[in-house]
Structure 1
Amino acid sequence: MKLEKAIFACGCFWGAQHQFERAKGVIRSEVGYIGGDKENPTYQEVKAHTTGHAEATLVEFDAEETTYTDLCKLFFEIHDPAQIDGQGPDIGPQYRSEIFYLNEAQKQQAEAVIALLREKGYEVNTRLTPATVFWPAEDYHQHYYDKTGGEPYCHIRVRKF
């Protein structure tokens, strides 16, 4: 097993975690906050737009079973990368579309997927940012839909890569 990590922000982290957890090769995931300037932020602080953080999902995966590129493609299939500072009913900068890359290889792979989408005519306003500290969200946010039995509003869309 070759464990690697990836961090994606694409709207409400409940639905993103739900979708990533079901992807081939994903070992575990955790929701949290990244991209702002407040240490150890709370949900209420992030929601109040006082931290600069985005709701994000940290994905730990087996690179022998899946690739970072495949996870990037899934990322673009579970949200609308054209929408700025929001997703569906969730509006605000904490719901922005952003990939937080952990190394140069991830940056290059994400750039390649974005370029491919734009070649195909998709509008992509996703930010590509070096990862900073990932702050885990409160326990009640972790695996929310598994706990509640609900279904996320984000669903897999088929984009032709």
Structure 2
Amino acid sequence: MDYPFDGSQTILRYTVVDEKMSAKENRENFSKMKELLNKVGVYFNIIDGTLILKVSPASSGVGQSQYEKITKRGAGRKANAIIHPGCKNTEGEPVLIHYSDIVYMRQKMHDYDIYKYIGISEATYYRKKRIMLESNYYQSLDISRLNDLEYLRNSGIPDPLF
């Protein structure tokens, strides 16, 4: 089973005893094992008879840890921003659809009409809608003000792209 790495530091500590029959082999392989695990982002060491294994999140808080870079495949097509049909801003560039636009549309339109209007597949729409409904943005909204587009766009939490 693949467990998601939530970004927090994960540490295991075990007390180890070196078997006399394996002592020489353990000394020879310890540095190899430490180097191999370090390459994939796992800290490995024995201090005072305690084996320590540690996977740390990204050091700067931005990007991925070494462990995530190795274990995550990055497969699949990257998501494209959805463009508002027929709308252009003052510079003539297309207008992107945000969560606020979808929440506002949901007050007046059915899901079928929304995904046909914005030109995405049904499966994509429902997948993105589920993510939106679970987001901090949507959870923080005042349910009584969902018909107010200005409120939805300026609710105090960044309005992510749909």
TM-score normalised by L of structure 1: 0.25
Q: Which has the higher contact order (CA 8 A, sep 6+)?
A: 1
Greater fraction of residues in helix: 2
TM-score normalised by L of structure 2: 0.25
Bigger Rg, structure 1 or 2: 2
Greater fraction of residues in strand: 1
